[in-house]
């Protein structure tokens, strides 16, 4: 049996009781540190906390392992109980759907244990979840790669009066171009997009496209470390959020659509004075 267990947002205590029981019963535990982070995945101390809670050793499955060695994980899960730990909810990322598909195809039984993810916990900012349109991802722009296909999506959401959740780029264990050319991988330091970078990229795209999907005075909500004890939520016009220090990762951003009275009441608590 392959258990795919959501760890939720925050720290080791955000696993569910059901998830904890499953993990403790497994003979092998993998933790995926690729699509998401959680301070856990990258901080050795946090990993030790987890191992202590579970009473088991954890193998961190980085990006390469998830993509290249899934077959081995599935082989183990055919004979024994294996847990695959995932930050947030198991279906937050495409990678895990792929894992489930491969498991089912090879006849390995799968049990999914759900948890909170950014997709629902973001409700904490006060904008109602059923009033969001399509979720977008904002990638780090480079000198030569500035993809802006998210622009039409924001435009569509705005036209319909809907809010837009913007997931911000995470770059973990990316090999440097230089090292790839030399044939021996050297990794870039991890990078996490801040609310500030996201907004400045958004404003750049709006200026280039000129479609008035949004502007410097569009109400947005910046969120950092959602679900953690030190989460930070600040609401205000885009240009004002540009200067707010949201602190350590992860960050995400919401572009507000039309707001209802209850939503506005809630946003008041988070507004920049």
Question: Which residues form the interface with a copy of itself (CB under 8 A)?
Answer: 6, 8-18, 20-21, 53, 89-92, 94, 97-98, 100-101, 104, 112, 114-117, 119-121, 123-124, 126, 128-137, 156, 160, 162, 167, 227, 262-263, 265-266, 269
CB 213 within 8 Å of CB 159: no
**Is 75 annotated as belonging to a binding site?**
no
CB of 143 to a copy of itself, least distance (A): 27
CB of 216 to a copy of itself, least distance (A): 26
Residues 6+ apart with CB under 8 A from 185: 175, 179
**Is 162 annotated as belonging to a binding site?**
no
Residue closer to a copy of itself, measured from CB, 91 or 187: 91
CB 124 within 8 Å of CB 10: no
Residue closer to a copy of itself, measured from CB, 14 or 206: 14
**Is 118 annotated as belonging to a binding site?**
yes
CA atoms of 125 and 145, how far apart (whole Å):
32
Sheet holding 136-138, edge to edge: 136-138, 164-168, 251-255, 219-224, 232-237
Residues 6+ apart with CB under 8 A from 65: none
**Is 89 annotated as belonging to a binding site?**
yes
Residues tagged in the binding site annotation for S-adenosyl-L-methionine: 9, 89, 92, 117-118, 168, 226, 251
């Amino acid at each position: 049996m392959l258990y795919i267990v959501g760890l939720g947002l925050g720290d080791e205590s955000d696993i569910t009781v059901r998830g904890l029981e499953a993990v403790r019963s497994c003979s092998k535990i993998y933790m995926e540190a690729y699509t998401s982070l959680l301070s856990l995945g990258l901080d050795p101390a946090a990993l030790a906390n987890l191992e202590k809670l579970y009473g088991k050793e954890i193998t961190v499955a980085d990006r390469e392992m998830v993509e290249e060695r899934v077959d081995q994980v599935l082989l183990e899960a055919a004979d024994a109980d294996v847990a695959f730990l995932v930050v947030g909810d198991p279906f937050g990322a495409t990678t895990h759907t792929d894992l489930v598909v491969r498991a089912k195809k090879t006849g390995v039984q799968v049990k999914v244990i759900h948890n909170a993810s950014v997709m629902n916990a973001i409700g904490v900012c006060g904008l109602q979840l059923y009033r969001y349109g399509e979720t977008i991802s904002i990638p780090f722009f480079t000198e030569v790669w500035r993809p802006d296909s998210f622009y039409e999506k924001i435009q569509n959401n705005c036209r319909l009066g809907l809010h837009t959740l913007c997931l911000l780029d995470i770059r973990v264990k990316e090999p440097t171009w230089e090292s790839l050319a030399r044939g021996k991988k050297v990794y870039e330091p991890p990078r996490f997009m801040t609310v500030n970078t996201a907004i400045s990229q958004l404003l750049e795209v709006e200026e280039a496209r000129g479609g008035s999907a949004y502007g410097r005075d569009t109400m947005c909500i910046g969120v950092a470390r959602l679900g953690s004890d030190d989460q930070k939520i600040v609401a205000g016009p885009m240009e004002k959020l540009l200067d707010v220090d949201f602190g350590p990762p992860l960050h995400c951003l919401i572009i507000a659509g039309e707001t209802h009275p209850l939503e506005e009441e809630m946003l008041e608590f988070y507004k920049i004075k």
